[in-house]
Amino acid sequence: MLFNTHSHVDTGRQFAADRDEVVARAREMGVSQLMVIGFERALIPVTLAFAERHDWVWAAVGIHPTSALEWGPDAERELREAARSPKVRAIGEVGLDYYWKDKAPFEVQRDVFRQQIRLARDLGLPLVIHNRDAHEDVVRILEEEGADEVGGIMHCFSGDWEMAERCLALNFYIGIGGTVTYKNNPVGREVAQRLPLDRIVLETDDPYL
């Protein structure tokens, strides 16, 4: 069984002309399960509707850290409503992104991250974690907020082995994708080699990677 645990085929502009055909080809090539990942408030219904059209596609809904300024009572209500669907299996992608310094203030990102962890715990759903250049803050907040209660996936893992061990202790799986093949990513390959096979999940992050 092949399970692509992180896809944006539901919303990626690159798939506008042949979205359903792309999904059909993936199925023909042996992908038996697919998780489409939300990241903006306006796209929550799009992601959910796409998953509902395909019996082998599942959805995660959440507010991406670069969109953290979208967070508020209405956004939380919409996520809670979406999570009532049996198609929604996770909250994500959520986390911290310190690479894009002009998107959302880091303090806002941290607050919204905490609130979405609490939402996931309240709903009993695992988390899909986005982390870019924020390793220590991501793990610290996960630990402080008791994220081990729900666990989840560390999307496109980019940390070192010490960080991986902390994430494993929090009941997270480690997402491995195309970046592990990059020539300048020896740390990623070391982590992939040391991980227990039953704690690795595969992902494409299409169309972005």
Binding site as annotated, residues: 6, 8, 93, 130, 155, 205
Q: Which of 142, 121, 118, 125 is nearest to 82 (CA)?
A: 125
Query: Strand 57-61 vs strand 200-202: parallel, antiparallel, or unpaired?
Result: unpaired
Task: Please provide residue 153's backbone torsions phi and psi, each rounded to the nearest 5 degrees.
Answer: -125, 130
Backbone angles phi, psi at 184, to 5 degrees: -90, 25
User: Radius of gyration over alpha carbons of the chain, in Å?
Assistant: 16
The sign one gets for the Cα dihedral 24, 26, 31, 33 is negative
Spell out the residues 6+ positions from residue 182 whose beta carbon is closer than 8 angstroms to its own: 188
Residues annotated in a binding site for a divalent metal cation: 6, 8, 93, 130, 155, 205
Q: Which residues of 55-78 are buried (b: 16+ CB within 10 A; e: fewer)?
A: eebbbbbbbbbbbbeebeeebbeb
